C-alpha cells in the first residue's frame, strides 16, 4: 500500500508511479488513471498534472521504470551466458506480468509520442547484444534472443505454456539457439 503522505516529502511524482504500479497489478493498464493514482496517495486532483500530462505519460513512466529493472537483472549476468540471460529475462517477465505487458506496449495509446520508451527498448536490446559475448553478429543474435524470450514469456503469461514448464522450455529453446 502506498504511504499516503509520501508526496508531502517532495516526491509526488514517485508516489504516483508507485500508485500506478499497484493499480496496474490490481486492474491492468485500463484500470490505471491519474485520478485513481491520486486517490491512492491522497493528493489533490490537480497535483499530478505538474508531473504527467495524461494517463499515457504516467504509464510510460512506469514502463521506463520496468525497463530499468529488467536491464539491472540482465546486467547481473556474465557476458556470454545466454542461458543465464534467458533465465533472468524470463524470471523478470513472469514475476511482473502486468509490468512486462506494459513495457511491451499494452495499454499505452500513442507510443510514437514517447521516444524515450523506444530508446529504453533499444537499450535493453543493446544490453542483450553486449551480454551475448563474441558472436559473428551479436546485434542480430540479441534480437533473435529477445524474440525467443519475449515470445516464451508472452506464451506463459497468456496461459499457452505452463509456468512450471517455462524454464524447461527456455532451456530447450536456448539450447537450439546457441548450437
Each residue's pLDDT tens digit, 11-60: 899 999 999 999 999 999 999 999 999 999 998 888 888 899 999 999 99
Nearest partner of 145 among 160, 161, 128, 122, judged by Cα: 128
- Residue 119's pLDDT is 95
On the question of pLDDT at 88 being above 80, the answer is yes
91-129 per-position pLDDT tens digit: 999 999 999 999 988 889 888 899 999 999 989 888 888
CA atoms of 51 and 74, how far apart (whole Å): 29
On the question of pLDDT at 78 being above 80, the answer is no
CA distances from residue 68 to 15, 82, 124 in whole angstroms, order as listed: 17, 20, 9
pTM over the 0.95 mark: no
CA atoms of 51 and 166, how far apart (whole Å): 39
* 10 vs 32, higher pLDDT: 32
Please give the grid coordinates belonging to residue 125.
536490446
**H-assigned helices in the chain:** 12-27, 34-41, 55-75, 82-95, 97-103, 115-131, 138-157, 163-178
* Other beta carbons less than 10 A from residue 80's beta carbon: 13
- Residue 27's pLDDT is 94
- Residue 5's pLDDT is 46
CA atoms of 130 and 13, how far apart (whole Å): 32
- Residue 8's pLDDT is 55
CA distances from residue 43 to 2, 24, 58, 84 in whole angstroms, order as listed: 12, 19, 15, 42
Q: How much is the mean pLDDT over the chain?
A: 87
CA atoms of 156 and 149, how far apart (whole Å): 11
Amino acid at each position: 500500500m502506498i504511504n499516503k503522505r509520501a508526496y508531502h516529502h517532495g516526491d509526488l511524482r514517485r508516489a504516483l508511479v508507485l500508485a500506478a504500479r499497484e493499480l496496474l497489478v490490481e486492474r491492468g493498464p485500463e484500470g490505471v488513471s491519474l485520478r485513481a493514482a491520486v486517490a491512492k496517495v491522497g493528493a489533490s486532483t490537480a497535483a499530478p498534472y505538474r508531473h504527467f500530462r495524461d494517463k499515457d505519460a504516467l504509464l510510460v513512466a512506469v514502463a521506463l521504470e520496468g525497463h530499468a529493472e529488467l536491464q539491472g537483472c540482465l546486467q547481473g549476468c556474465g557476458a556470454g551466458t545466454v542461458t543465464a540471460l534467458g533465465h533472468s529475462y524470463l524470471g523478470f517477465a513472469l514475476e511482473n506480468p502486468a509490468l512486462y505487458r506494459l513495457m511491451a506496449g499494452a495499454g499505452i495509446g500513442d507510443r510514437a509520442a514517447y521516444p524515450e520508451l523506444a530508446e529504453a527498448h533499444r537499450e535493453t536490446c543493446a544490453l542483450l547484444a553486449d551480454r551475448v559475448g563474441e558472436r559473428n553478429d551479436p546485434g542480430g543474435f540479441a534480437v533473435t534472443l529477445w524474440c525467443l524470450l519475449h515470445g516464451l514469456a508472452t506464451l506463459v503469461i497468456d496461459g499457452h505454456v505452463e509456468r512450471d514448464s517455462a524454464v524447461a522450455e527456455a532451456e530447450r529453446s536456448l539450447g537450439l539457439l546457441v548450437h
